[in-house]
Amino acid sequence: MRELQLSGNKAGDSGMKHLSSLLEDPNCKLEKLQYHKANIGEEGFRALASALRSNPSHMRELQLSWNIAGDSGVKHLSSLLEDPNCKLEKLYLHNCSIGEEGVIALASALRSNPSHMRKLQLSHNEAGDSGVKHLCSLLEDPNCKLEKLHLFKCSIGEEGFKALASALRSNPSHMRELQLSGNKAGGSGVKHLSSLLEDPNCKLEYLHLNKCSIGEEGFRALASALRSNPSHMRELRLSGNKAGDSGMKHLSSLLKNPNCKLEKLNLNNCSIGEEGFRALASALRSNPSHMRELQLSGNKAGDSGVKHLSSLLKNPNCTLEKLYLYNCSIGEEGFRALASALRSNPSHMRELWLSNNKAGDSGVKHLCSLLEDPNCKLEKLVLQCCSITDDGFRALASALRSNPSALRNLFLLEDNQPGPSAQQLLSELRKHPNCKHLQIDGPY
């Protein structure tokens, strides 16, 4: 046995104690234990740590998220982590009621045995700036090889961001993924982080800063830093910040850099309007071959903004696979522009999210001209709440019957108005021999 998954059961501390009698057996070679959402408290963590201390050399991954560890439980676990024979590489403690004291204990333990841990998940705990500063004493250790650190919603402010940036600047070459969303970075915190990103020795590939109170100045600092060191970043998540068109223009100066290899960009709900969409499209047209996923939902694109974006999509060098534009104030003209662009370059797009827009039957009919193209490889299409009635449903059914092989998931029944004839057509479509892989949401 190498991997045991027991998550989502009501094991409790008693169950954990029974399992621990296996883990302490010297013949047990278990490498991965998934035990999240299992009602474990301090006593369960104590039993687990005690068992693994007597047989520490095999376990590589512990998934213990959504249990009630508390600081006391984490302190027991820390007694395992500081054991020189412990070779644990991945530790998940998401939402485990850990506070500053628990983070201090973890950091202290890992400092005494720093070379094995590669991924540390501490999101949804109350680390705060003080706890993060103690964690930074681990990160700046030259023997620390941590590659992924998740601190989503950990009550971190400017001082915590300053400490993180400083620690990682002194040991920048290992970290690949930083998840810091849901903290109060603000412009000042992001500027500290930017001092790390511009370091030529920084190899960070994934940076998540959703809902971090970042405005235009923060976007300017991020873009400037990444322009000076653009070749490593692959995924940048900045949703729920106040970029505005100005912030988007700063970011676009990074995207058009020929050395920028960014593949995923998340900018949902960032107050971006037509001018921001224009700047984004223009930048990506000059460097189109790397981007695979664009999330732009909840912005005020409108038809004009989508038309700018369409000029990117029809570029033969554009290989975008996933585009999210739900709730972007798009009407018939925007749908026409999207469909036309994708018809001229149809083979790459796999997911298109367009819910909560005013497509109407006319807009959907434009999209149907894409779906019936035999070169269209779209696999997922989301059109919920798009003012589609019987006429639009009939057009969709007809298009899919003529080219049914690519699409796998169609979401459109919620908050649209299919009449009886459309429901009948969709039912028949499901039974069509060429549509056996197509999943359509809803009961029809």
Cα-based distances in Å from 221 to 178, 187, 254, 303: 17, 8, 11, 30
Residue 73's domain spans which residues? 1-84
Is 62 inside any structural domain?
A: yes
Question: What pLDDT does residue 444 have?
Answer: 38
pLDDT band at 54 (very low <50, low <70, confident <90, very high): very high
Task: Give SS3 for 379.
Answer: coil
Residue at 67 is within a domain: yes
Whether the per-residue pLDDT at 346 is higher than 70: the answer is yes
Residue 227 placed within a domain: no
Q: How confident is the model at residue 417 (pLDDT cuts 50, 70, 90)?
A: confident
Could you tell me if residue 6 is inside a domain?
Answer: yes
pLDDT in tens, 137-190: 999 999 999 999 999 999 999 999 999 999 999 999 899 999 999 999 999 999
Q: Examine residue 271 and state whether it is found in any structural domain, yes or no.
A: no
Helix/strand/coil for 184: coil
Supply the pLDDT for residue 402: 81
| Count of domains forming the chain | 1
Q: Which residues of 289-306 are buried (b: 16+ CB within 10 A; e: fewer)?
A: eebbbbbbbbbbbbbbbb
Q: What is the pLDDT of residues 250-279, one digit of tens each?
A: 999 999 999 999 999 999 999 999 999 999
Is 42 inside any structural domain? yes
* pLDDT tens digits along 107-136: 999 999 999 999 999 999 999 999 999 999
Tell me the backbone φ, ψ of residue 112, rounded to 5 degrees.
-85, -10
pLDDT of res. 443: 44
Within 198-295, residue ranges assigned H as helices are 216-227, 244-255, 274-285
Q: Nearest-CA neighbor of 235 among 186, 295, 193, 194?
A: 295
Cα–Cα distances in angstroms (integers) from residue 360 to residues 307, 335, 366, 387, in the given order = 18, 10, 10, 5
Return d(Cα 296, Cα 347) in angstroms, integer. 21
Distance CA 398, CA 395 (A): 5
Q: Are 238 and 262 in contact (CB under 8 A)?
A: no
10 Å CB burial of residue 128 (0-12, 13-18, 19+) is: middle
We report the CATH number of the domain holding residue 9 as 3.80.10.10
Q: How far apart are CA 264 and CA 266, in angstroms?
A: 7
Query: Is the distance from CB of 260 to CB of 232 less than 8 angstroms?
Result: no
Q: By percentage, how much of the chain surpasses pLDDT 70?
A: 97
Q: What is the pLDDT of residue 442?
A: 55
Copy the structure tokens of residue 25.
């057996």
Residue 79 clears pLDDT 60, i.e. is over it: yes
Q: Is residue 321 part of a domain?
A: no
Distance CA 12, CA 14 (A): 5
Confidence of residue 397 (pLDDT cuts 50, 70, 90): confident
What pTM does this model have?
A: 0.93
Longest CA span, the chain: 70
Residue 433 falls inside a structural domain: no
What does the pLDDT read at residue 148? 98
| 296 vs 255: CA distance, rounded Å | 15
pLDDT confidence bin for 406, thresholds 50/70/90: confident
How would residue 434 be classed by pLDDT, with cut points 50, 70 and 90? low
Whether the per-residue pLDDT at 68 is higher than 90: the answer is: yes
Model confidence at 441, pLDDT cuts 50, 70, 90, reads confident
Q: Are 99 and 131 in contact (CB under 8 A)?
A: yes
Residue 405's pLDDT is 67
Identify the helix (H) or strand (E) that includes residue 262.
none
Q: In the predicted model, what is the mean pLDDT of the chain?
A: 94
| Average pLDDT score over residue span 221-226 | 97
pLDDT tens sequence across 306-317: 999 999 999 999
